[in-house]
Amino acid sequence: MRFGLIAVLVCACGSPMNGGTGGGSGTGGGTVSGTGGGTTSGTGGGTTSGTGGGTTSGTGGGATSGTGGGTTSGTGGGTGGSAVYDIPNGTLLFSESFEDTSFNARGWYDGAAAPTLSTDVPTGGGTRSYEARFAMGATNAPTPARHQFTGSERVFIRMWLKFSPNWVGSGVAYHPHMFHLTTNKDGMYIGPANSHMTTYLEVVGLRPMLALQDARNVDTACILRNNDTFVGCNGNFSTYVFTENRSVAACNGLRGDVDGRDCFDNGGGNWYSARYWRTPSDWFSNTAGPRYKADWHRFEAYYQMNTIQNGVGQTDGKLRLWIDGEKVLSYDRILFRTNENADMVFNQFLMLPYIGPGSPVAQSYFVDELRVATGLIP
C-alpha cells in the first residue's frame, strides 16, 4: 500500500494523500532473495475519512448482506474498549526467538543469508533479537522474510518491538512496511502488494496502523476512486451490480469498518485496493517515558476472517491491536473475503522491512520473541 514491499516489478510513484497506505510492493512472482525484492509504488493517494464515497451497489450492498459493493459503513468498533483481550484462546502455530541466524532450519525462507541480530533484548528474552537495520538511502533491511504455517481463519501475533533512538521511519506520510499475513489464495512467493489478501501491521511516523489490500480481486468494470468519483460502472456507481467476485478493500465499495482507504490505477489495467486503521494520534513518543519508541513494547494483533452466509460474505470479521496490554484498535465489521474466496485462510507470515523512498537516515527497529497462534496464548 503506498505501503510497498517485495517482488520484482518497479514503477514510479507519487505520495498518498493524508497518510494513505503507501502503494505497494510486489506485484507478484518471486522476490529477490534476502532483499525483500523490488517494489511497485503506485500513483494514487489514500484518503482518511472513510465516510463518503460510493453508494449502495448491486442487490444489497449495504452494511452486512447482498452482493453489491456497498457504501461506506462508518468506523464501527473504533479504538479502545473495556475487555482488553476479547478474543478466543488459541494454539501456537510457530515461534521465533532470533537466537541465531539458522532461520531456514526453523521454516523461514526467501530471506537474507545472515539477517542482523542484536544483543539488545527485552526483559525475560534470550540473548539475541532481530535488528531490521536500514542503511541511509536503503529501501530494504536484511530479513528472515517468510514463514508458512497451518492455514487458519484466526491469527494472533505477539512480539516485542522497539526502535533506535534516532528512528524517523520513512520521513513521509507512508511506510515503513513491517509485518504481513497472506493467504492460501496466493503462492509462497507472492508479492504482498498485489495479492488476493494481504494484511499490514506497522508503525507509520509514531502511529501504529493495521491495513489490508486485495488488488487481485478488483472488479475493474466499476472503480470507486479515493475522491468518490468512479470509473466505468455502466455510468452509475449506485446502480452497478457487483457480484462476489470483487475487492473487499476499497476500489469496489466500502462495506464494513474503514478509517482510510486507497484505490489507484497501478498501470496495465490493474488497480491497487486497500483500507487501513490507525490510532487517533501518535502512540509512541520521541522522549523518555512509558511510550518511548526506544524502549521495548509488547505488540499484539488479531485477525479473524468474516463468515459467509447464503453465498455472501458478511461484514463480521475482526481486527485488534494491543500495545503493552492496552487495546488501541478494535473493529468488528471487517470484510476479508467474499463467497468467491469462501475457503480463504491465513497461512503465511511475512517480515519484510521496506521504506519505498529510501531510509532518510541509518536507523533500525528490533523484534524479539515472536509468536504466531490461532488465538490468545499465555
The pLDDT tens digits for 165-219 are 999 999 999 999 999 999 999 999 999 999 999 999 999 999 999 999 999 999 9
Q: Which tens digits make up the pLDDT trace of 216-250?
A: 999 999 999 999 999 999 999 999 999 999 999 99
- The band of 21, judged by pLDDT with boundaries at 50, 70 and 90, is low
Query: Are residues 168 and 364 in contact, defined by beta-carbon separation less than 8 angstroms?
Result: no
> What is the tens place of the pLDDT at every residue in 66-117?
334 444 344 444 544 446 999 999 999 999 999 999 999 999 999 999 999 9
| 17-373 CATH fold | Jelly Rolls (2.60.120)
pLDDT tens for each residue of 321-368: 999 999 999 999 999 999 999 999 999 999 999 999 999 999 999 999
CA 134 to chain centroid: 20
Task: Print burial letters for 97-123: b (CB count within 10 Å at least 16), e (below 16).
Answer: bbeebebeeeebebbbeebbbbebbbe
pLDDT at residue 19 in the model: 54
DSSP assigned state of 139: S
Q: In the 3-class helix/strand/coil scheme, how is 19-64 assigned residue by residue? A: HCCECECCCCCCCCCCCCCCCECCCCCCECCCCCCCCCCCCCCCCC
What pLDDT, on the 0 to 100 scale, is given for residue 317?
A: 98
pLDDT score of 3 more than 70: no
Q: Give the pLDDT confidence score for residue 168 in this predicted structure.
A: 98
The pLDDT tens digits of the residues spanning 119-138 come to: 999 999 999 999 999 999 99
In this model, does residue 258 exceed pLDDT 80?
A: yes
Pairing verdict, β 198-204 and 207-213: antiparallel
Tell the residue number behind the cell numbers 522522549, with chain if given.
Answer: 287
On whether the CB atoms of residues 138 and 132 are closer than 8 A, the answer is no
| Mean local confidence (pLDDT), 153-169 | 98
pTM: 0.85
- What pLDDT, in 10s, does the model give residues 139-155? 999 999 999 999 999 99
Q: Where are the domains of the chain?
A: 17-373
pLDDT grade for 47, boundaries at 50, 70 and 90: low
